[in-house]
Structure 1
Amino acid sequence: MSLFRKTTKLSSKKQKSQQNENQNQPESVLLSGHLQDDFQQIKHLFKAAGDFVYREIEITPKYPAVILYLNGIINVERMELHVIQPLLKHEAGLLPPYPTIDHFKALLSAARVTQGETFQEAVDHILSGSTVLLINGFQKAIFISEQAWEQRSIEEPASEAIVLGPREGFTENVTTNISMIRRRLKTPNLKFEMMKVGKLSNTGVVITYLEGIAEPSILEEVRSRIERIEIDAIEDSGYILEFIEDQPFSVFPQILQTERPDRVVGNLLEGRIAIIVDNSPFALIVPVTFFQMMNSPEDYYGRFIMTTFIRFIRYLFLIVALLFPSIYIAVTTFHHELLPTNLIFSVAASREKVPFPAVIEALLMEITFEALREAGLRLPRPIGSTVSIVGALVVGQAAVEAGIVSAPLVIVVATTGIASFMFPSYPLTGAIRLLRFFMIFLAATLGFYGIFLGVFFILVHLVQLRSFGVPYLAPLAPFHFNNVKDLLIRVPWWMMNERPQETGKTNLKRLRYRRRKY
């Protein structure tokens, strides 16, 4: 049985109806070659667009032409220099008595000049920031790329800050993002497949992979899932994410979102596939595993001994972030005998004036902490961190003095909050935050039995979870010994000689290095 999502075939009747619709689509309407007719049709489409600009020129008395573009998204100076001036001031003899469209293209000094023969192609190029040239007597239009989009400069990623490693992150311009990947992988095997998604937005979506390393079946599944998306507009890569996940109702992220080009390149080298969306600084990486979500890009830039230690701390605080409040509730409600006598008396004394049971205490503090966290994110940066820290201290201290919550619970909630900030993947942090409340309710009703039951259900769910057919707990389940070298521990680079079995089996060998003994 295939692990991939099954696709249903269209019936013959539906296929015929779609073919009839396609025949009436604008992309099937060819340019007539009569300048005024073609110009008036395109002008009619942009009749209420205030930024639509056209200029009629005369290349020769026999060949009048018109230039069409949208103001604000093209470089007017370059268009004047590379398009208008060469057409109006061309030297005599450059055009033969019966020129072809290629002769007119040769007059232009722009770097990228293409051509098309349908109205839809002309409209798409105008909307994409190109200049369109229509010449009387020719059933083809010339497209000149002179875009001048306003864009944000390359900055350090805000969501994936590191100490060691590159400092640049993706921007909202897909061309810039592609160039940052290409600069790191100077090989013709690096492929970029362009697609358009969104009936109204025509957003550019780029599938990036390394030919000869990426698994062809996974690549085909990525193409298939993106092609099935039918939506008016794509505003961010998060739109694509929800459409192509294996199990969208799972709290665990099955697609990695990153704004770091070095992280994308590292995953491409392991046989994974990246999806870059125009107007979004976040690239999507598929397929991914749980352990990949727990790894930081910085893990591969420092020495392996320190990286291994940090990973142990990270997994330890994963348990703390998920279970610490529920363990406190279970112990104080059902299992007092697990605590030393002195600690029991200390906790009991702190809870003596508290009118609520432990579960209500925990929920009040957890919800308050979540509210402070969100407030810190939404406020301007200079005051956001101050409000969240000061707010937590003031609210915690006031709640203890008022006898609403106990001091040990404030310590538990604060430690849990700190632990949740240690995960490199923000979507994984959200999953742990949600599951923490689930574990609190189980601990309040069944004690440690509820905690064990909740952990069991979470593990069962993780085992049966897939990301584009790849097991979510790989390489632990199923177990692959060679891939465990980059799991909880990180061995030296010269020992990681194979790619992950699940994504790089097309070309497993990654490096050949024989360490010299000094």
Structure 2
Amino acid sequence: MFFKRKDQPKDNTDQSAQNQADIPAAKDAFLAEMKGRFSNSADFIIKELSPELSLLYIETLIETTMLNENIIGALCEPVRSLDQALEQIDSGSKNKLDSLDKTIDALLEGSAIIHFDGIPSVLSANIKTTVDRSLNKPENESQVLGPQLAFIESLNTNLSLIRRYLVNPALKVETFQLGVRTRSKVSLLFLEGIADDGMIATVRQRINDIQIDGILDSSILLQLIEDNTLSIFPQMVLTERPDRTCSLLLEGKLAILTEGSSQAIICPVNFVEFFKSMEDQNVRWHIATFLRLLRLFAMQISIFFTAIYVASLTFHYEIIPQPLLVPLSESRSKVPFPPIFEALLLEFTIELLREAGARLPTKVGQTMGIVGGIVVGTAAVQAGFTSNILIIIIALSALASFTTPSYMMGNVIRILRFPLIFLAGFWGFYGLSLGFAFIVIHLVRQSSLGSPYLAPFYPPRFSYWLDSIIRMPLPFTNTRPYQSRPKDMVRYPRDPDQNE
């Protein structure tokens, strides 16, 4: 796996041991050491409150009001020892620290440090400022029924949202620090007694093996811990919904949250999971089944529809119905390009419009997509660059790609169209069959935390097929999916009068 932790040379080990040295008791030595660590940074502040007492903090990380009222105001009275300062300070989180590394970590987390001359320890008081945004509706996974809350960039807030849904002491949270320079907090969540111990150990080991400068978002962490980082298909789900996260935790899956990210990583997952929506659980099973089948059908339209058009017009005219040949021939009579070039030109234009609309401000982006599509499409047909029928096919393919609930899988569908168009243009349906076979073989070889990616279809588990594609009625979903290998397979007894 990439970015694995390498063995440190002896010099680094000695340096690490030196960093764990005790805090200098002398004030001058301590302040000189701290100034050297922070390289005289402009926002690193040192105040000498008395000949013996020194106050250190990072100005951009602390709440100024709390600093003045709870710390400086409390230390106005004479202080003769660190224990006395501990009693006088009014702060929610106060700790005694005895190493330089812990002192620096506390400063970087928004604490003020008090050092008393002659004492080889310091007092930390947490007064960090909060810059979190308010809770909002999900933007990428919106739904009509169900909760309307999304994760934000605060790890503690996201953990609180999950705790509100899962009021259970079995919910375990393990915290890691990743990034040699960012030291970002990462939390691993699972339900004890349900989640598989082997999968927990695997994720724990993969996180501990990461050695990188910084982790700024969950999407970066996902690429470092998934089974095959070279595959175009994602092997873990990113979600911004706390309710979906809790629903998958109840199935025995694991969740990973990152400080500064509004997305949670869910693993293990299978291919069909990317086409499921949390709203499927909130509507009647008939409607949920229809919508799920519609998404899977739309995926096939988006990937293969344009390629089938190219193959048919290039090599296989005989499969086109006779009534359709005349209007198709009239539509293409003024087009000077072969079907493959015509299709690639329109597909590339659609991707340009889509990317421009996504990067522009919301209102301008929507206008750009609508006006650009109409103007470019009409002008292309009138100029003879393309046919009317291909405009319809390209529009349907682009529209179908938006039905996928997962943004990552939607991007995969967009990319797969291009190699299939090339194969169809050079070898017709034989090339298209080759491309389809390659995709299936690649999917069969993939896994998520060692669990088959195409489960329950390969290896076949016929008893789970229906509940994978079809959202079965709730009385028939009393067992958890086998893919995550849960310790407790039974969610609830199917017979209400039956006791577990």
Q: TM-score, length-normalised on structure 1? A: 0.91
Q: Specify the code of the residue in structure 2 equivalent to 1:458.
A: I
Displacement of 1:50: 1.3
Which residue number corresponds to residue 66 of structure 1?
54
Contact kept, 8 Å, 2:180 with 2:212, in 1: the verdict is yes
Shift of 1:380: 0.5
How much has 1:114 moved relative to structure 2?
2.2
> Given that residues 4 and 209 in structure 2 are in contact (C-alpha distance below 8 angstroms), is that contact kept between their aligned partners in structure 1?
no
Cα deviation for residue 47 of structure 1 reads: 4.1
Secondary structure at 2:142 match in 1: coil
Worse overlay, 358-367 or 189-198 = 189-198
**2:380 corresponds to:** 399
Match of 1:40 among 32, 41, 48: 32
Alignment partner of 2:396: what SS?
helix
**Paired residue type of 1:236:** D
Distance 1:138 1:496 in 2: 63
The answer to which of 44-53 and 216-225 deviates more is 44-53
- Give the aligned partner of residue 65 of structure 2: 77
The residue that corresponds to 1:385 in the other structure is 366
Distance 1:353 1:9 in 2: 61
Distance 1:77 1:513, change over 3 A: farther
Kept in 2: contact 1:22–1:28 (CA 8 A): no
Residues 482, 498 of structure 1: 8 Å contact kept: no
SS at match of 2:469: coil
Write out per-residue CA displacement over residues 322-346 of structure 1, whole angstroms, 9 at most, x where no aligned residue: 1000111111122222122110111
Amino acid at match of 1:72: T
Q: What is the aligned partner in structure 1 of residue 297 from structure 2?
A: 316
In 2, Cα distance between the equivalents of 1:112 and 1:479?
54
Deviations 1:235-291 (A, max 9, x none): 222221222121111111112111111121111111111111111112211222111
The one-character-per-residue Cα deviations of 1:354-384 (angstroms, maximum 9, x if unpaired) are 1011111100000000000000000100110
Between 317-326 and 250-259, the greater mean CA deviation after superposition: 250-259
In structure 2, the residue corresponding to 1:505 is in which secondary structure?
Answer: coil
CA distance in 2, matches of 1:89, 1:260: 50
- Measured in 2, the distance between the counterparts of 1:487 and 1:399 equals 42
Alignment of 1:174-185 (within 5 A): 174-185=155-166
Counterpart contact for 2:4–2:210, Cα < 8 Å: no
| Matching of residues 231-250 of structure 1 within 5 Å | 231-250=212-231
1:494 maps to which residue?
Answer: 475
Structure 2, unaligned stretches of length 5 or more?
none
CA pair 479-138 structure 1, distance change in 2 beyond 3 A = farther
Report deviation, 1:513: 4.6
For residues 305 and 103 of structure 1, do their structure 2 counterparts lie closer, same or farther at Cα, with a shift above 3 Å needed? farther
1:304-339 deviations in whole A, cap 9, x for unaligned?
A: 111001111111111101100011111112222212
Counterpart of 1:204? 185
Q: Does 1:474 pair with 2:455?
A: yes
Counterpart code for 1:22: T
Question: 8 Å contact 2:5–2:209 — kept in the other structure?
Answer: no
Q: Is the 8 A contact 2:3 2:224 kept in 1?
A: no
What CA distance in whole angstroms lies between the structure 1 residues aligned with 2:417 and 2:372? 22
CA distance in 2, matches of 1:128, 1:422: 42
Report the alpha carbon displacement of residue 514 of structure 1 after superposing the two structures with TM: 2.6
| Equivalent residue, structure 2, for 1:507 | 488
**What residue is the counterpart of 1:29 in the other structure?**
21
> Is the 1:65–1:136 Cα contact (8 Å) retained in structure 2?
yes
Tell me the distance in 2 between the aligned counterparts of 1:111 and 1:48: 29
C-alpha distance after superposition, 1:282-305 (max 9, x if no partner): 221122211111111111111111
Q: TM-score, normalised by structure 2?
A: 0.94
Which residue identity does 2:15 align to in structure 1? N
Q: Equivalent residue for 2:48? A: 56
Corresponding pairs, count: 496
Residue 63 of structure 2 aligns with an amino acid whose one-letter code is N
Residue 160 of structure 1, aligned match among 123, 141, 154: 141
In 2, the alpha carbon distance for the partners of 1:339 and 1:102 equals 88
Give the secondary-structure state (helix, strand or coil) at the position aligned to 1:163: coil
Distance 1:162 1:9, change over 3 A: closer
Aligned partner letter, 2:60: G
Report how far residue 106 of structure 1 moved: 3.7
Counterpart-to-counterpart distance in 1, 2:289 and 2:236: 24
Q: Give the Cα separation in 1 of the matches to 2:87 and 2:485.
A: 46
Percent identity of the aligned residues? 37
Secondary structure of residue in 1 paired with 2:308:
helix
Which one of the candidate residues 268, 273, 276 is aligned to 2:257? 276
Whether the 8 Å contact between 2:240 and 2:263 is mirrored in structure 1 is yes
- Tell me how far 1:438 sits from its aligned partner: 1.3
Contact 2:256 2:265 in 1 (8 A): yes
Which deviates the most, 48-57 or 369-378? Answer: 48-57
The structural deviation recorded for 1:125 is 1.2
Amino acid of the residue matched to residue 304 of structure 2? L
The amino acid that maps onto 1:432 is I
> Kindly tell me: are residues 33 and 483 of structure 1, through their superposed partners in 2, closer, same or farther at Cα, counting changes over 3 Å?
farther
Please give the secondary structure, in 2, of the residue aligned with 1:206. Answer: strand
Q: 2:247 is matched with which residue?
A: 266
1:222 to 200, 203, 206: 203
Deviations 1:438-477 (A, max 9, x none): 1111111222222222111111111110111011011221
Question: Cα 1:390–1:515, aligned 2, differ >3 Å: closer, same or farther?
Answer: farther
Q: Contact 1:270/1:503 (CA < 8 Å) preserved in 2?
A: yes
CA-CA distance at 1:102 after TM superposition = 5.5
Report the 3-state secondary structure (helix = DSSP H, G, I; strand = E; otherwise coil) of the residue aligned with 2:53: strand
2:267 to 286, 301, 306: 286
Q: Contact conserved, 1:57 with 1:66, CA < 8 A, in 2?
A: yes
The change in CA–CA distance for 1:7 and 1:376 in structure 2 (over 3 A counts) is closer
Structure 1's unaligned 5+ residue stretches are none
Matched, 1:449 2:430: yes
SS at match of 1:78: helix
SS at match of 1:487: helix
Structure 1 moving runs of 4+ over 6 Å: 5-10
Question: Contact conserved, 2:20 with 2:99, CA < 8 A, in 1?
Answer: yes
Contact (CA 8 Å) 1:27, 1:121: kept in 2 or not? no
Instruction: Tell me the distance in 2 between the aligned counterparts of 1:8 and 1:263.
Output: 31
